[in-house]
Amino acid sequence: MNPGRISIRKAIPGSPQTTSTLGLTVDPLPFAPGSDEGQIALLRRARAEGVTVFDAAGGRSPARAEQLLARAFPEPDPELVILIRPTVGGVPLESPWQSPGRAPELRGDRSLPVERLGIALAESRRRLAPQVPAIVELGTERDAADSATEDLLAPFDALRSSGEIIGYCSRLPRDRDTVRELFSRSRPPLVSVELSLLDRALTEALDRAARAKPLGAFVRDPFAGGLLDGSMISKGAVGRPPRSGPVELERLSAQFAPVLRLGFLTSTGKRTLPQAALSYLALHPWVVSVLIRPPAPESWENVFGFERSAALSPDELARLATFSSGGHPGDIPGPAGEK
């Protein structure tokens, strides 16, 4: 297939499979008649651009995301790398199975983890057919350290060895100290994590972990909740509940202050801030793919043109490094830092 504009491929540790630097999180609207067709069109457009990674684990309904992918791509595509979050009857695999009203295969808390894993993967394969699940994601941001429990490690390793899946990953919290603690105890070969230009401390922790052992990360939220691509402003009024009161300008100013200090990244006019955010993450060897939600049509070029935007210079990278020490990216003397 024509690689499209997203042409750079990244390696997945422990696998010969490669991925596109940019991936799409599939998050169908729960109750919106006709919206699926629009979502399918976006998924196919992204595939034509060269995207090979589709994330069915990062949205609100992993099962519906899998069904949507099967409809979008009705022919087998061996290049696709699909992330799934295992569910049994719509309930995540790692959730506590306490309800006595559930079917027998769903009861017993964690007494039947291997059996539940088999059921969950069978359900995903059925929903995704003719595509296949590639990466299984376990864990939550709140409890990532215990996500891949000891009783599931052996079955997952067996599935990976047999080639039924490429691998499995733990979802990390957006917290440097917790991540450091996790990596001091265990070394998951693949992780997923929310990360952006503004998360310098967490980025450095992952840099150090990757230098110690091979590491691959699927990165979500590269635009920091809409701060770096402007969507926080454009969608903010729509998402505000009734009677929520006026916007707190002081809080808004504090949120955007770090973003304003990144102005040097766009001062040349050769890239947008979203393009810089994606380019920065793609520079890290351990970043397997950066996962975004489908952009609005007017923002498509801001995202899918990032590989052809101007490369980040050593001077710009040095300024970005000052985020980790609490400095401002424009504080380093030099032409690009002059006021």
* 80 assigned to some structural domain: yes
Arithmetic mean of pLDDT over the chain: 80
Rounded distance between C-alpha atoms, residue 289 and residue 195, angstroms = 12
Q: What's the confidence (pLDDT) of residue 143?
A: 46
Residue 326 lies in a domain: no
Establish if 245 belongs to a structural domain: no
Cis ω for the linkage preceding 3 (within 30 of 0): no
Q: Could you tell me how many residues make up the chain?
A: 339
Question: Does residue 3 belong to any structural domain of this protein?
Answer: no
Kindly state whether residue 260 falls inside one of the protein's structural domains.
Answer: no
Distance CA 111, CA 281 (A): 40
Task: Name the pLDDT band for 324 (thresholds 50, 70, 90).
Answer: low
**294-317 per-position pLDDT tens digit:** 888 888 888 898 999 999 999 999
Which residue range is the domain that position 68 belongs to? 9-236+271-317
Residue 253 counted as domain residue: no
CATH code, domain carrying 100: 3.20.20.100
Per-residue pLDDT at 239 exceeds 50:
no
Q: Which helix H or strand E contains 77, and what residues bound it?
A: none
Confidence of residue 43 (pLDDT cuts 50, 70, 90): very high
166 or 254, which is more confident? 166
Is residue 147 pLDDT above 50, yes or no?
no
pLDDT grade for 94, boundaries at 50, 70 and 90: low
Express each pLDDT in 204-237 by its tens digit. 999 998 998 889 999 999 999 888 888 876 655 4
What pairing do the DSSP bridges indicate for beta strands 135-138 and 167-171? Answer: parallel
Could you tell me if residue 47 is inside a domain?
A: yes
Q: Give me 38's structure tokens.
A: 């629009």
Give me the percent of the chain exceeding a pLDDT of 70.
73
pLDDT in the model for residue 192: 93
For residue 127, the model assigns a pLDDT of 94
Sign of CA dihedral 145, 146, 147, 151: positive
pLDDT for res 12: 93
Taking the C-alpha atoms of residue 274 and residue 271, their distance in angstroms, rounded to an integer, is 8
Q: How many domains does the chain have?
A: 1
| 176-199 per-position pLDDT tens digit | 887 887 777 766 689 999 999 998
pLDDT digits (tens, 9 = 90+) for 10-27: 999 888 899 999 999 999
Between 155 and 108, residue with greater pLDDT: 155
Torsion of CA 320, 321, 323, 325, to 10 degrees: -160
Q: What is the pLDDT of residue 148?
A: 43
**What six digits make up the tokens of 228?**
């770096």
Query: Over 70: is that where the pLDDT of 330 sits?
Result: no
In a domain, 216, yes or no: yes
